[in-house]
Structures are given as structure tokens and as C-alpha cells.
């Protein structure tokens, strides 16, 4: 079965136990359907269901690829993936806050 939707910029090809997907920003990737479902169960990704077919938003494909590499290459379990994802998000937030504070400091130094 080949599925696509206008609001998503990716192609999803599913078989009974595997999923292949691609987008303009990523190469073709293979995962098991159970892995995708487990990611959704843990709240790590969001699936959109249209007429019984699950779709992954194109913006999340990079995240799925990263989680897949962490899980299969580094043997990190789902709880660990959740922890790593949360820590990376906190790190990004702190980096953004530092950038904002540096910009404000430069503004005060210019006075």
C-alpha cells in the first residue's frame, strides 16, 4: 500500500511488518512498524491517522531517524530514549537562553 497526503511532504510505503519512508529532507529509512508504534506509545512521536493509515509528519522524520539510530546502534531502550530526548531539549533551551542573554548584554554594553 502506498499512502500520501497533501499536508505531509513525505512518502510512506508500508508492508505488514515494516515501514519505509522518505522526505525531501531525509534519505529513505526503514523501521519496523512495532518500533514506530512503540515510539508513539512512549509519546516520543505523534502519528496522524487518516482512514486507518498512520502518517508521520515530515518534520518528525529526522527525530525518528535519530531515535532509531540511538535505539539500534547504541542499544538505548525506550525509557533511555525519552531521557536523552528530554535532556537534549533542555540543552537546546539553555543554549537559546544563553544566546538571548548575550544579545541583551551586547545591547547594554553598547550604551
Every domain of the chain and the residues it spans:
2-109
- pLDDT one-digit tens code per residue, 13-54: 455 555 655 555 545 567 787 888 899 999 999 888 777 777
- pLDDT one-digit tens code per residue, 45-96: 988 877 777 778 777 888 888 999 999 999 999 999 999 999 999 999 999 9
Q: In the prediction, which pLDDT does 4 show?
A: 35
* Residue 75 φ/ψ region, left for φ over 0, alpha for ψ in the -120 to 50 degree band, beta for the rest: left
The gap between the terminal CA atoms of the chain, to the nearest Å, is 63
Q: What's the pTM value of the predicted model, to 2 decimals?
A: 0.67
Our CA angle for 35, 36, 41, nearest 5°, is 95
Amino acid at each position: 500500500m502506498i499512502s500520501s497526503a497533501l499536508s505531509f511532504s513525505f512518502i510512506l510505503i508500508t508492508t505488514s511488518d515494516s515501514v519505509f519512508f522518505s522526505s525531501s529532507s531525509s534519505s529513505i529509512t526503514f523501521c519496523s512498524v512495532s518500533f514506530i508504534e512503540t515510539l508513539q506509545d512512549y509519546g516520543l512521536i505523534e502519528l496522524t491517522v487518516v482512514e486507518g493509515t498512520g502518517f508521520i509528519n515530515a518534520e518528525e522524520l529526522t527525530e525518528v531517524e535519530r531515535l532509531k539510530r540511538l535505539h539500534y546502534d547504541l542499544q538505548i531502550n525506550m525509557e533511555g530514549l525519552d531521557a536523552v530526548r528530554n535532556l537534549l531539549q533542555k540543552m537546546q533551551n539553555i543554549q537559546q537562553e544563553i544566546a538571548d542573554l548575550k544579545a541583551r548584554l551586547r545591547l547594554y554594553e553598547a550604551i
